[in-house]
Amino acid sequence: MGRPGEGTEWVLVDTGLENSADFILQCTEKRFGTQSKPKAIILTHGHFDHVGSVVKLSEHWDVPVYIHELELPYVTGHISFRAVPLPHDGSCPGMPGWKWIHTPGHTEGHISLFRAQDRTLLIGDALILTKQESLRSVMTHEERISGPPKYLTTDWVAAEQSVKHLRDLHPALAIPSHGEPMGGAEFSQNLDLLIENFDSIAKSVPQQ
C-alpha cells in the first residue's frame, strides 16, 4: 500500500493563527505524506486568524499564496514576495472544479469557494455555523447560524448581500471557518432564517 495521500494534489485554504503552523504540518503530513506539499495556499481574507501561519508555511513548502487583490494590503510587507491576486476568471489555482466567489462584508476582499459538481461550499467568514450539540443552543433555542464574526466586519450591507449570494448557490454542504459543517435542508432553513432576520441575528450582541 502507498503512503496516505500518495499521488494526490491538494491546496491549503487559510493558515490559522500564528502558532498553527506546526499543527497544520502534522495534519498534512499524516494525510498526504511527509514529502507532499500543496500546489498553493489560498486565503479567504487577510485577518490574523486566517493568515497567521502563512509566512512560515509558504516558506516551508515554497509555494505561492493567492488572495483577493483587495486583501493584498493586509499581507503586503509580510509575504509580498509570494502573495499574488487570485485569477480574475474565478478559478482556484490547484483546485480543479472549484471557483472562488467574492463575498465582501467581513472584509472588502473576502472570498468563499464553491464546487458546483457536488455543491460544496467553503464559507470562510461570510457567516458562522454554531455547534449542533451545544447544550446552550438546545436550552435557549439559539439559532444555529449567524452572520460574519462581528469583530472587524466592515460593511454589514455587503455582508447581507453576500449571504444572499451564497443562498442562491443552493449548497449541499457548507463548511465554515468558525463552527460546524451543515448541509441539506437544515442549512437551507437556517440560511433562510438568517436572511429573513439578518439585523437581529447577525448584528445583535448576545446577552450574557
- pLDDT tens, residue order, the chain (208 aa): 334 444 578 999 999 999 999 999 999 999 999 889 999 999 999 999 999 999 999 999 999 999 999 999 877 665 557 889 999 999 999 999 999 999 999 999 999 999 999 999 999 999 998 754 444 544 444 557 889 988 889 999 999 999 999 999 999 999 999 888 999 888 999 999 999 999 998 887 544 3
| DSSP conformational letter for 179 | B
Q: 85: closest CA among 139, 46, 31, 32?
A: 46
What is the number of other CB atoms lying within 10 angstroms of the CB of residue 117? 9
User: By the 8 A CB rule, do 104 and 110 touch?
Assistant: yes
Other Cβ atoms closer than 10 A to 164: 12
3-state secondary structure (DSSP) of residue 81: coil
Query: Domain spanning 108-208: which superfamily?
Result: Ribonuclease Z/Hydroxyacylglutathione hydrolase-like (3.60.15.10)
- CATH: 3.60.15.10, 3.40.50.1980, 3.40.640.10, 3.10.310.30. Which one for 1-96? 3.60.15.10
